[in-house]
Every structure is written in C-alpha cells, then in structure tokens.
Structure 1
Amino acid sequence: MSARRKRQSLLARRPAPDIGFVLELSALTRPIGVRQVRRQQLRHIIEVAQLRNVQLQVVSPDRETHAGLDGPFVLLESQERRQLAYIEGQGGSFFISEQPRLGNLFGEYGILRAQSLSPEASVKLIEEVAESV
C-alpha cells in the first residue's frame, strides 16, 4: 500500500511533472471487484484526469488495432532531459535507453495518442462507464 501512495504523491509534487496516460477501455470496464469500489476508482481516475499536469486518453472503443498492442510501456524523461523507457511483463522488466528502440517507443506513443479519444472525450467516456457500474 505504501508503494501505491508513493506513486500517487507524484501527481501533487512541485514542480508538477507532465504526465500522460493512454488506457484501453477494457481496463476500465473489466468487472473485477465490488461495483461500489470500481465506481470509486473510476471517479478517482476522472479527478486525476482533470489535473492541469495530466493528460489522460482512452483508446477509441471503435479501433480494431492500435500502436500499443505490443503491450504496456512507460516513457520517462529526467530533469536533465534524458529519455528512458520501462517495459514490464510476465517475462521480466527492463529499461531501454538506446536508439533506435527508444525512439521507436516514443514514436509509438505519439501514434497511440493520435489513435485515442481526446482527453475531454476520454473523461466523458469514463464518466459514462462509472454511471453504468
């Protein structure tokens, strides 16, 4: 639990980091847990999405394919402008710091954002999902 709180404190850190997320709709609609808790989680996601330093987008539910189908990844940029990517899966986790793979992941993220709903439309969709839970 303390690791989760530590990650969440990042959202309120000063100076505020620029944070962007792209989520699959299925991650928001999967019926895991009690309905009331799922609804609270969705409302929390909406609150986070409305922070000035956060961009949250949902992949359009109409898309059959998108640039993120190879799996999740995290893109990072340090204060010194050093870029890294972090990939975690069942086979382990690792950082990518070398080109061309690093540049490819940053490119894939840009494409994925273009293939997703706008932040405003994403929040509206998450609100609809929360109401239906």
Structure 2
Amino acid sequence: MFLFKKDFATISLNQRRSLLSLEWLRQPSSEELKETFIVSMDVARAYEVRFFFSNNSIGISTDLAAQRWVSSYMAAAFEQLKVERYARVLPRDAMQEVVTYKVFDEAQNLCPSNVLFNVFYDLKSAEEWLLQGVEQGSKPTRT
C-alpha cells in the first residue's frame, strides 16, 4: 500500500513482509528530500518495519549539507526503529556508492546500530538479500 506518493518519490509498505520501500522518481529539492526521509522513518517506526528498501536507481545526488542532515536524522531514528536490514539500489556510479556508504557510516558513528546495510545495482539482488529467509518465516541470516 502506498503511504506517500509525490512526483519525486513514493513510499509503500508491505506489512506482511514488514517491508518499507522508498523509490526516488526524480531529483528532489532539499526540502523534498527531508520530507521524504522523515516520512519514511516515521512509517518504519509506526509499523515496526524490519526491512527497508531504498531504490535510488535514477541516481539522485545530495550536497554535503543534505548528507550531514540525513546521517544525523538516520542515527537518531535508528535508535527507535526495528529495522534489521537496509538495502539501497544505485546506478553504477562510484561516487553514488561512496556517498551512500559515507552517509550510512556517519550515522553509525553517531549512533551505532545492528542494522545490516548493503548497496546493489539491481532490484532483484537487493530484494533477495533484504528478504533472505523471510518467506520460510525465519529471521534473515547475517552476511
């Protein structure tokens, strides 16, 4: 079910799988990025989501101020979330990957969590890793 649908991003929830999906549709403004990120974390908290999927295959970019904001907000949010795995799909772009890991690592430095994080270049691989073992009713295995 879609919980957030704008021309720049969508957020959907699959309660059965405890999966939140965030998909970027175009480059957001700074305010649109913040709005989307806040809503996604609020949904994850409200529904006690275990799996977070972010599809950035279009390759949105963020400036340094936005990267710092996302890291800080993510660090604070992770303290209250049940998220176990976070998968992010990117275009094949070294800078996108470097920035993505930098933002996540900074969030972990601010507030360490047990969230497993991985970057992928295709949707299928990301979903397989994210939901590994879920269909059998077991918890995902750590990689």
Q: Same fold judged by TM-score > 0.5? A: no
Q: Which structure carries more helix by proportion?
A: 1
Larger radius of gyration: 1
TM-score (normalizing by structure 1): 0.31
TM-score (normalizing by structure 2): 0.30
Bigger relative CO (Cα 8 Å, ≥ 6 apart): 1
